[in-house]
Amino acid sequence: MFADIDLFDFAEKQGIIREGFILTQEYIPDKIISRDDQIKEIALLTKPMFRGSYPKHCLINGPVGSGKTIVANHVFSRLSEKIEQDKLKLEYLKGKKEELEVQGLTLENEDKQQYELLSYIVPNVNIKWVHISCRETPTPAGILYKIITYLEPTINLARRGTFKDVYYNRLYDIIRTKNIGLIAVFDEIDFLTDDSILYNFSRALAAGNLTDRQFITVIGITNALESDKTLDDRVKSSTIFEKIVFPPYSVDDIFHILSARIKKAFAPNSIDMETLITCASRAHDAGGDIRFALKVLKTAAEFAEEDEKNIIEIPDIYLAFEAVQKNELIETLRKLTRRQQIVLLAIIKLLAYKFTPTTGQITQVYSLLCKYLELDTLDTTIVSKSISTLELFNIIQVYSSNEGRRGGNTRLVTVKGEDQEKIKDTLYDDDVLEGLKLYNPIEDNQHIIYENNRKRGYI
C-alpha cells in the first residue's frame, strides 16, 4: 500500500531553494533597489489627486526587465494602502470630534491639525488600480471586460458577442455608482490592437460619462523609447502623457537585487560572491533584464540540486544561462500566430544568402511560402505588422535605411546569428511548417534578391 511513498522523499530534503516565488517577476519586494528616482517620479503623478484634481497620464519607457512593471505596481499598491489608512484615521478623528462636541469640547490642537489636513487631502472617491497585460489582452473589448469584472466580480456580462459600447456604458455606470477613481496600468501598451480605448478613457469626464472627482488615468508601460509616435494624434492630444524613463540596470544594480532576493529565497551560504557576480555580469551583457537574471539564478539552483550539491557554482550559471535563453525563445516562438511564424521563416531563408533583407523582399518570400503551404496570402500588410510584433518580442532587429524608392526610408531586418538555428529547429518541429524545411523559394525566384541587392552593392 505504501510502496511508492519514496517517490516524494525529495519533499523532506532541505535543498538550496527555500522560497522559489521570491525569484519570480510576480513577487513585489518591500524595498525596490536602484529605482528611488523612478519611484518618486511615478508617485508624483498622483499629487494632483491630493489637491482636488486627478493623477496625470504617463508613459513609462525603458528596456525589458528594467523594473518598470514592478515599480509601478509597488507605487500604486502603496498608494492604495496610504489612502485606506488615511481614511481610517479621518473616520476615527471625525468620530472623536463629534463625541467631544457633544460634551462642549474640541479636538486637541495636534488632532485638529491632522483632521483638517486629512479632510483636505483624502480623495472623496474610492481609488482603484488595475494592471492589464496588453500582450495577453490586446483588444479594447478584452480590456474593458477585464476592468469591469475586476471592479464588479459578480456582474453578469457576456465575455463574447457584446458590443464595445455596452462595455463602456457598463464600466462608466460602475464607476459612477461606486464613486471610483481608476488608475489603469497598460503594461506593454505597444501590443494594443486599437488605441481608441486610450482616447475614450482620457475623454470620459469631458464627454459627461463621469462626474465630480471620478476619473480614469492611463499609465502606459513600454519597452520602446518613442512608442508615443505610433499613437493616434487624437490620443496624444487628448491624453498628454508625462514621460518617465527607466535606464538599464548596471552590473552593480543586478548584483544587489539578486543578493537581496537570495537572502529569502535560498538556504544560507548556497552561493558565493564570485558566482553571484558572474550571474550579474552575464545578465548585464545579455541586456540587463532582471527577470532573465532571476530565472538564470533559479535554474542554476535547480541544476545544482539535481547534482545533489548544496552550493551553486559558476558552471551551473553557464548552463542555466544557455537553458533559459533557449527556453524563452522557444516559448515566444510557440506563442506566435501562424502568419507571424511564416514571416519569420521568410526572414530566415533570406538571411541564408548573407545579406540583410528589406521588408519588400520578406513580403515576396512570405507570399511564396504561403502558396507552397496552400494558404491564402491575405493582405500583405500582415508582413509589416508581423515584423513590428517580432521586433517587440525581441526576436528580430529592425533598422531604418534610405534605400527605399526615390530615396525614401525602408526597413532592414536581421536575426542574431546564434538564434537562427534555434528558430529553425523550433518552427520546423511544427507539423504544418515542417514541409518548408527543404523548400527554397528563392532558388527559382532569383529576381527577389538580385535586382535589389545589385542596387545596394551587395552583388
- For residue 302, the domain's CATH number is 1.10.8.60
Confidence check: pLDDT of 105 > 80: yes
Distance, in Å, from the CA atom of 67 to the CA atom of 354, rounded to the nearest integer, reads 37
214/289 same-domain check:
no
Query: Tens of pLDDT along 312-340?
Result: 999 999 999 999 988 989 999 998 999 99
Q: 219, 245, 271 — which closes off a domain?
A: 245
What number of other Cβ atoms are within 10 A of residue 106's Cβ? Answer: 11
First and final C-alpha spacing in the chain? 75
Q: 267, 299, 333 — which closes off a domain?
A: 333
Mean residue pLDDT of the chain comes to: 89
212/77 same-domain check:
yes
Confidence check: pLDDT of 1 > 60: no
191/60 same-domain check:
yes
Query: How high is the pLDDT of residue 408?
Result: 53
345/434 same-domain check:
yes
386/292 same-domain check:
no
% of the chain residues with pLDDT over 90: 67
Confidence check: pLDDT of 405 > 60: no
Query: How high is the pLDDT of residue 194?
Result: 87
Residue 21 lies in a domain: no
Total structural domains within the chain: 3
Q: 225, 245, 265 — which closes off a domain?
A: 245
88/236 same-domain check:
yes
* Cell 459612477, located at residue: 176
Please give the biggest Cα pair distance in the chain: 98
Query: How high is the pLDDT of residue 427?
Result: 94
276/208 same-domain check:
no
Query: Tens of pLDDT along 203-262?
Result: 898 889 998 789 999 999 998 766 666 677 777 777 788 999 999 999 999 999 999 999
Residue 43 lies in a domain: yes
Confidence check: pLDDT of 309 > 80: yes
Residue 73 lies in a domain: yes
Residue 13 lies in a domain: no
Query: Tens of pLDDT along 144-162?
Result: 999 999 999 998 888 887 8
* CATH code (residue 138): 3.40.50.300
Decide: residue 108, CB within 10 A, 0-12 exposed, 13-18 middle, 19+ buried: exposed
Question: Who wins on pLDDT, 280 or 157?
Answer: 280
Query: How high is the pLDDT of residue 392?
Result: 82
240/93 same-domain check:
yes
Distance, in Å, from the CA atom of 375 to the CA atom of 367, rounded to the nearest integer, reads 9
186/254 same-domain check:
no
Residue 58 lies in a domain: yes
pTM of the entire structure? 0.81
Distance, in Å, from the CA atom of 36 to the CA atom of 34, rounded to the nearest integer, reads 6
Query: How high is the pLDDT of residue 178?
Result: 95
Q: Which three cell numbers stand for residue 157?
A: 456580462
Query: How high is the pLDDT of residue 26?
Result: 83
Confidence check: pLDDT of 299 > 70: yes
325/430 same-domain check:
no
Cα radius of gyration (the chain)? 27
136/167 same-domain check:
yes
Distance, in Å, from the CA atom of 205 to the CA atom of 174, rounded to the nearest integer, reads 14
178/213 same-domain check:
yes
Question: Phi/psi of residue 414, each to 5°?
Answer: -145, 170
Distance, in Å, from the CA atom of 360 to the CA atom of 403, rounded to the nearest integer, reads 11
Query: How high is the pLDDT of residue 457?
Result: 54
* Three-state SS at 336: coil
Query: How high is the pLDDT of residue 400?
Result: 80
Q: Which domain holds residue 231?
A: 36-245
